[in-house]
Amino acid sequence: MITLRKADDRFHTDIGWLDSRHSFSFGEHYHPEHMGFRALRVINDDRVRGGAGFPSHPHRDMEIITYVVDGALGHKDSMGNGTTIRPGEVQRMTAGTGVVHSEMNPSPEQTHFLQIWILPEKRGLTPGYEQKAFPTEERKGALRLVASRDGREGSVTVHQDVALYASVLEPGQEVTHTLAPGRHAWVQVVRGQVTLADTPLATGDGAAVSDEKTLVLRAGAASEILVFDLA
């Protein structure tokens, strides 16, 4: 079963310096039927104006993954980390017992990134931080594992039974992912156009997948996608 979440149906926040689309309920946007999918709680598709960003604010008991699409994102936190995240890099922050961080666009150009929240396997984890690069060559025409519970294949480690794959596809390219029995998937189109089985998906579209064995994703245009394999 494939359930679509069309890009235009997402919640929308526009406050000038920030233009954000929310796949699931977030902040002042609430709908009981869109509270996440399995352990996946938030996918925010954020565009931040040059020189602007999120000042210091707290989080706790959440696994936060940041995936930069275009531009750069400066990060500082109460654990002492100070980094810049660029396209092809994935950041994982375990908020656990509590973290304060800021995210700012250090450049004059707009920064586009996805921020993903995953419910942790338990509360009260020790806060942690990880950032790794996954070059385009590793994601091109393939599903590159970028986050997993055990950090295998050089992925960042997430404290939940989730595997996150990223792929960059040229027109006509195809990738296949097999779901183990009882597993589910969420497909997010970062940009481009793909078909999932016979279902067309375009930029910003998402799809929840259950009771399916194989996901076949074929690009109709240059595309970038994320695939979440979820318990």
CA 118-122-127 angle, 5° bins? 75
Question: Which tens digits make up the pLDDT trace of 86-121?
Answer: 999 999 999 999 999 999 999 999 999 999 999 999
Give the confidence band of 47 by pLDDT, cuts at 50, 70, 90.
very high
Across-strand partners of 82? 76
Residue type for position 80: G
Give the confidence band of 129 by pLDDT, cuts at 50, 70, 90.
very high
Question: Which tens digits make up the pLDDT trace of 48-70?
Answer: 999 999 999 999 999 999 999 99
Residue 83: per-residue pLDDT: 95
Which tokens in the block code for residue 142? 């393939």
Residue 152: per-residue pLDDT: 97
CA 176 to CA 45: how far, in whole Å? 25
Residue 46: per-residue pLDDT: 98
Q: What integer best gives the mean pLDDT of the chain? A: 97
Rg (CA), the chain: 17
Residue 120: per-residue pLDDT: 98
Give the confidence band of 15 by pLDDT, cuts at 50, 70, 90.
very high
Give the confidence band of 29 by pLDDT, cuts at 50, 70, 90.
very high
Residue 181: per-residue pLDDT: 96
Domains within the chain, CATH numbers bracketed: 2-230 (2.60.120.10)
Across-strand partners of 218? 174, 195
CA 7 to CA 71: how far, in whole Å? 22
Which tokens in the block code for residue 27? 């902040």
Residue 204: per-residue pLDDT: 98
| Mean per-residue pLDDT, 154-162 | 98
CA 226 to CA 21: how far, in whole Å? 16
Share of the chain above pLDDT 90, in %: 99
Residue 1: per-residue pLDDT: 94
CA 72 to CA 86: how far, in whole Å? 5
Whether 190 and 226 have beta carbons less than 8 Å apart is answered as: yes
